[in-house]
Structure 1
Amino acid sequence: DRQARATEPAPGELGELASAFNGMADAVVRSDRDRRTLTADVAHELRTPLAALQAGLEELRDGLVEPTPESLAGLHDQSLRLGRIVADLAELSAVETAGLSLHLAAVDLAQVARAALSEWEPRLRAAGLTIIAEPVGPAWVRA
């Protein structure tokens, strides 16, 4: 019974045990609620790009629209979005399974930004976007 609580005050160790039991029961209820919320959020995040992808593919399959580079790029973007969500879930699962272990180190955020820009630049250029980076030096943080 997830709603059961120790209600009678007790002295000494028995009172401490009752308090610990109540805290544990509250934590179990919160955990169940959080799990249900996470499941609903994940389902929503997966459903949105999947619905767009399915609708676009059905339009192409049924001959309602002609495939264009733009429409195919949009469908591809939705599949990439789904892939990122699934990869994030797999990473979250791996972290929870292994136990979270943080190792703080000095990180240059300017270098992180340059690496991200370098990785995304071809796609941004293909989309007609131009990025101008004006580094002013390192930006060190412990992360």
Structure 2
Amino acid sequence: MKSLLFRVLVVSLAIMVECGRDFYKILGVRRRATEREIKTAYRKLSRKWHPDKNPGDREAEKKFQEIANAYETLSDKEKRKVYDRHGEEGLKEHLKQKQAGGGGGMDPFDMFFGGGMFGQRQQQEEKRGPDLNLDVHVTLKDLYLGRVISVM
């Protein structure tokens, strides 16, 4: 049961991020694709599914719009970073906050994974020490009931 809690947390986050559409899959590129690869894939797919090439085809229009949305997100460095961390729903929330004039409220993802308090980004990344690995023995019941274990 070594680091089971950590694995549960990682899986939970992965599931949350995967909610929504996969823009990389829509464009047919890998997650680490370069800007050039993304642009090439977009151009190829947009030519294929463009409404002018498929007049009256609602499915083609829908597909073209999906491709355009995926490209709009992945071609913008800031949007892509937010999408990679939080998925499509997180991106929508980010855009809402940006239109409303900034960070209203506290984002738990930013608090724990690199952002500052109350939606403010830290200007400089803090220097980290070496990673610490601990073997913590817990049962499934402990995890389910939320048992707190002191490590120091």
Query: Of the two structures, which has the highest relative contact order with CA contacts closer than 8 Å and spacing of 6 or more?
Result: 2
TM-score normalised to structure 1 length: 0.30
TM-score normalised to structure 2 length: 0.28
Larger radius of gyration: 1
Higher strand fraction (1 or 2): 1
